[in-house]
Structure 1
Amino acid sequence: MAEQDWLDSAGQPIHCTGKLRVLRENEEELRQVIKEACADALLMDVAPAYLRQHMEQLMAAIVAEAIEGTKSTNGADAMEQGEG
């Protein structure tokens, strides 16, 4: 898989080497865990199409939770600063 740019909330590529390092390390760790989970599922005869669908739904749910958590945290920060 070709390396893609990570984009910030404005849709611009992230250039900060520290941020990119953390993002790439996290991606590699996640890739390894998912790879092992998929291999286990396939060894247990889970249908490949179902595995893909399940993993896509799982990822969508995790990202949605993270976004919601970020919104909650940002809202709390604004409240603490008298902005909310």
Structure 2
Amino acid sequence: MQLDMPVWRDTEGNTLACVEKIKVMRENLEELAQMAQDAYEDAILMGCDEAQIKAYLVSLMQALDNPYTS
């Protein structure tokens, strides 16, 4: 799966320039995308409604919590 990655920015809008950070971000998101694709395909093969599984995956992402906020 080929992902079009955005230019990553910090909370102040500055571009992240650290090559290693960007590499880790890309690897993590590619792995996540592949896992989501696999789960989606499995759900379809099991007879789940495509729209329902997509909606659930979206809600899963929207429910992520930032453990670093004070």
Q: TM-score, normalised by structure 2?
A: 0.85
Task: Say which one has the larger Rg.
Answer: 1
5+ residue gaps, structure 2: none
Alpha-carbon distance in 2 for matches of 1:2, 1:19: 17
Counting matched residue pairs gives 68
Q: Which of 8, 11, 24 matches 2:10?
A: 8
What root-mean-square deviation, in Å, do the aligned CA atoms of Structure 1 and Structure 2 show? 1.3
Question: Would the aligned equivalents of 2:5 and 2:26 in 1 still touch at CA under 8 Å?
Answer: no
Percent identical residues = 32
Divergent runs of 4+, >6 A: none
5+ residue gaps, structure 1: 76-84
Q: TM-score, normalised by structure 1?
A: 0.72
